[in-house]
Structure 1
Amino acid sequence: MPKIPMPASSHNTALLADLSKAQVDRLTFIDFKLYFLGEIRRADLQKRFQTGAAGATRDLAMYKDVAPENLEFEGSSKVYRPSKAFRPVFEHSVQRALTALSQGFGEIDVDLNEPLIRCDIPTPLSVPSVEVVSVVSSAIFRGLSIRTAYASNTSGASERELVPFALVSNGLRWHIRAFDRKSNTFRDFMLSRMSKTQLLENSPARAEEKFEHDVQWSRIIELELMVHPKVKSPEVIAQDYDMKEGVMRVPVRATNAGYLLRLWNVDCSPDRSAKGNEVMLCLRDPLVLHAAESALLAPGYVDSRPKD
């Protein structure tokens, strides 16, 4: 049985006690879609659970019995949306929600709390607020903007109006790629630095704010990774990364190149001078990063282009 948070005054969670696991799974799915995507349609239930229209209608009616003030029906578009009084019926783990949003599964497997075999997974050090994730993901899904209080380590705290279009994991923490209406540029914004985040229902993304106009997002760079020359047994490292003819080719977005090279400890210096036992790889041609604004994050990268 999924966890149920402290119920809102209008929630009748006692009804859940008599439901089967399959019914609870379907209600959890409805709750998830409303919370993180800002809408649910009958067709979503039909597709996810291979049920008919009548069954989907019953599930929505059952959810309304449990949380009568949580959803509103838009007759013109035949879609249910979260009301202003919406409070989630179930407790959604932010890590599981991010997995579902980024990989398309796991949003209702709420009772699998233990691994199937013994394993040890690092604990994330930077975890965003689940409330922030729900607002941001709804904005991305529906093409809307958000207003948020953002804490920058360079410019301090400020209120921002952003148009997010993608969730991004850099391997250590999550951020969004968004158009910033304050600077009129596309930028990365860390989810953990956002608070007091609101969905702006009447402020959709303008044409020039959509991802198609983000040059750095659209630009794909092919990184050619090689075994670092200081490695004593290069054939072992080449086997680790399944290199072909001593090279591993990885296509990445220009926006993400610097993050990934830092995560992978790839030496991007022109003379391959990085030290440390963690450095096993180097970038074959650091000049390829000149096209990426994120290059400054890459270990050892030097911008050798002539200054204006």
Structure 2
Amino acid sequence: MTSELSGYQKELLAHIEFIGRFYGVVSRADLVKRFDISEASATRTFQLYHSIAPDNLIYRPNIRRYEWQDNASPVIEVSINKCLSTLTDGFGDSFAHATDNPFAVKNSLFHVNLDILAGITRAIKRKYPITINYLSKSSPQGATRQIVPHSIADSGLRWHVRAFDRKRNEFRDFVINRVSALSPCKSHEILPHEERAVDDAWNTIVELELQPHPRLGKVATMIEFEYQMVSGILKKRIRQALAGYLLDSWNIDSSPDASLTGQHILLHLKNSQQLNFSSKRLAPGIHGYGV
């Protein structure tokens, strides 16, 4: 039936489905705000969606919103990259056009599982824990963990969920594509020490001072221009929990003495000796320095 819809109708329905699927609840006000349409038009759009997928959304009078069901099946084809960019940069088109011929391409080894991602983002928005089956080096077949997610982040190589791990009793990063199964724990309360506000590594901002690698003096000017440096330095403010991933993904030599070599290493962390945080162990050149 969706093939008979106009492009505008698909955009309206895609927005309903996106909000419901990734945030857990959706209302007419979401359509009114996004598309500047009347309440009556928004009502008709929800009626249209219900005629296509009657079991995906259930209206909850106590919160005056439609709730996305955990066993719902999306009906609008979506672009994974667009969903991810929408979650990070705001709303735009969220359904995939078969005739699209993009001229800008983001290289990626794999895509994130949207069903798992949606289960995580619903838990974040509606504030409840989730139980996951998580694959790791110590448990390659997976092990059950109960986590309290509060944010998702692109490390530069893959997507992570930042969450309180009830097994380890600490905040940790989980690779989303290592989650093979997920179930919500809506009846479980989030405890004060599990909330985002007390995740120090997430809430602390560090400033990285990046310079052209000292061994590349002959092309330092080129590197400064490419990275838009000011007085030979690129200052990057980033959450402490994510800093190690950035240093790793960009091959930034973080050794205090700038000792690394290789054509792939163009940058050096100038203020390495002044910075000490747990994710720094991921950075090139740190192994053996006791961080």
Q: Do these two structures clear the TM 0.5 threshold for a shared fold by scoring above it?
A: yes
Q: Give 2:198's aligned residue.
A: 213
- Are positions 1:202 and 2:202 aligned together? no
CA contact (8 A) 2:59 2:67 kept: yes
Compared CA separation, residues 113 and 200, structure 1 to 2 (3 A): farther
Q: Give the deviation of 1:105 after TM superposition.
A: 2.6
Q: Give 1:6's aligned residue.
A: none
Partners of 1:103 and 1:132 lie apart in 2 by 20
- Are positions 1:145 and 2:129 aligned together? yes
Q: Residues 10-29 of structure 1: matches in 2 within 5 Å?
A: 14=1, 16-29=2-15
Q: Point out 4+ residue stretches in structure 1 off by more than 6 angstroms.
A: none
Q: Give the deviation of 1:31 after TM superposition.
A: 1.5
Calculate the TM-score normalised by the size of structure 2: 0.93
Calculate the TM-score normalised by the size of structure 1: 0.88
Partners of 2:70 and 2:162 lie apart in 1 by 26
1:3-52 CA deviation, whole Å, 9 max, x = no partner?
Answer: xxxxxxxxxxx2x3443221121111112222221111111010011111
Partners of 2:124 and 2:136 lie apart in 1 by 22
Calculate the aligned-residue CA RMSD, in Å.
1.8
Compared CA separation, residues 42 and 267, structure 1 to 2 (3 A): same
Q: Equivalent of 1:255, from 241, 257, 262?
A: 241
CA contact (8 A) 1:265 1:279 kept: yes
Q: Give 1:127's aligned residue.
A: 111
Unaligned regions of 5+ residues in structure 1, if any? Answer: 1-13
Residue range with higher mean Cα deviation, 77-86 or 130-139: 77-86
Compared CA separation, residues 245 and 171, structure 1 to 2 (3 A): same
- Are positions 1:283 and 2:274 aligned together? no
1:93-120 CA deviation, whole Å, 9 max, x = no partner?
Answer: 33222121122134435326212xx445
Secondary structure, in 3 states, of the residue corresponding to 1:224? strand
Q: Give the deviation of 1:121 after TM superposition.
A: 3.6
Partners of 2:233 and 2:8 lie apart in 1 by 48
Compared CA separation, residues 293 and 45, structure 1 to 2 (3 A): same
Q: Give the deviation of 1:68 after TM superposition.
A: 1.3
1:246-287 CA deviation, whole Å, 9 max, x = no partner?
Answer: 111111111011110111111111211101011111111212
CA contact (8 A) 1:32 1:107 kept: no
Q: Equivalent of 1:61, from 40, 47, 53?
A: 47
Q: Give the deviation of 1:203 after TM superposition.
A: 2.2
- Are positions 1:182 and 2:167 aligned together? yes
Compared CA separation, residues 125 and 204, structure 1 to 2 (3 A): farther
The residue type paired with residue 230 of structure 2 is K
The residue type paired with residue 189 of structure 1 is F
Partners of 1:94 and 1:199 lie apart in 2 by 22
* Aligned-residue identity in percent: 35
Residue range with higher mean Cα deviation, 297-306 or 209-218: 297-306
The residue type paired with residue 114 of structure 2 is V
- Are positions 1:113 and 2:100 aligned together? yes
